[in-house]
Amino acid sequence: MGALSCFRFVCGILTLELSLIPVNLAVSLQGILLVSCDFGCSCYNCWICSLCVPIYVSVKDQWFEKSWYLWEKYSHQRICRASIAKKQEQEKELRQEKDKVHDMTAMCKAKAEAKAEEKTEKELAKARMDVAHEVRLAREAEAEMELHVAKAGQRVENARRTEAV
């Protein structure tokens, strides 16, 4: 069982010392995060899937077959976890986008209300100015009419004086 301690997975990358393990097997196992048992146990435990798989270094075919089983199981779980994490990230991004859109909608609504209120105030001010202008024109017309009436009254008075003389 001394051959078990001849390789270690460090940070997910397989490092090999001189051993009986074939190169193609080592390549196929890259990326699996395994911890070797230093107590003479003939098994490795995968941190990701918690599966304990017996390793028969002397019988390479069985070891190769078991490693592929572990690789497939680990790959499937890793893909599922990555997919779930990706979907959670997408959901988080969509929520952030939704919040941004909601904030922009609220801001646009507030701007539209302010603009409508400003427009209403402008229209009201314009109406007041129009009314004031109409009142001024009416007063000017009234003053002009009073002037005409006064002139007419003066003509009548002049006509009476001329008639009296």
Residue 139 domain-assigned (yes or no): no
Residue 46 domain-assigned (yes or no): yes
Q: Tell me whether strands 13-16 and 34-36 are parallel, antiparallel or unpaired.
A: unpaired
pTM of the complete model: 0.34
Count up the domains in the chain and report the number: 1
Q: Measured between alpha carbons, how far apart are the two ends of the chain, in Å?
A: 156
| Integer Cα distance of 42 and 65 in angstroms | 16
Residue 43 domain-assigned (yes or no): yes
Pick from 11-25, 61-75, 94-108: least confident: 11-25
pLDDT at 75: 56
% pLDDT > 90, the chain: 1
Range of the domain at 12: 2-82
Instruction: Kindly give, in sequence order, each residue whose CB lies less than 8 Å from that of residue 162, ignoring residues fewer than 6 positions away.
Output: none
- Is the model's pLDDT at 90 over the cut of 70? yes
- Is the model's pLDDT at 127 over the cut of 70? yes
Averaged pLDDT score across all residues of the chain: 64
For residue 54, give the nearest of 95, 107, 1 by alpha carbon. Answer: 1
Residue 126 domain-assigned (yes or no): no
pLDDT tens digits, one per residue of 42-82: 444 433 333 433 333 333 444 444 454 555 555 556 667 77
Mean pLDDT of 128-135: 90
* Residue 35: φ, ψ to 5°: -120, 125
pLDDT at 74: 56
